[in-house]
Amino acid sequence: MRFGAAGQKGTTLVELLVVMPILSILAVTALPFAETAAQRRQELALRETLRQTRTALDAFHADWAAGRFEEDAAGVSDNGYPETLAVLVSGLDVTLDAETGATQTRRYLRRLPENPFGGSWRLIGYTQTGATWDREDVWDLRADTSREALDGSAIAEW
8-28 residue pLDDT tens: 678 888 888 888 988 888 878
72/95 Cα distance (integer angstroms): 14
State the average pLDDT over residues 145-155.
92
Per-residue model confidence as pLDDT tens digits over 52-92: 999 999 999 999 999 988 888 899 998 899 999 999 999 99
Residue boundaries of the structural domains of the chain: 12-157
How far from chain centre, in Å, is Cα 97? 35
What is the DSSP code (8-state) at residue 66? T
Residues of the chain with pLDDT > 70, as a percent, come to: 91
pLDDT in the model for residue 129: 66
100/91 Cα distance (integer angstroms): 21
Residue 96 and residue 103 in contact, taking contact as beta carbons nearer than 8 Å: yes
Residues in the chain: 158
pLDDT in the model for residue 19: 87
Amino acid identity at 120: S
Give the containing element (helix H, strand E) for 36. Answer: helix 13-65
Residue 60 and residue 88 in contact, taking contact as beta carbons nearer than 8 Å: yes
Q: What is the pTM of this model?
A: 0.76
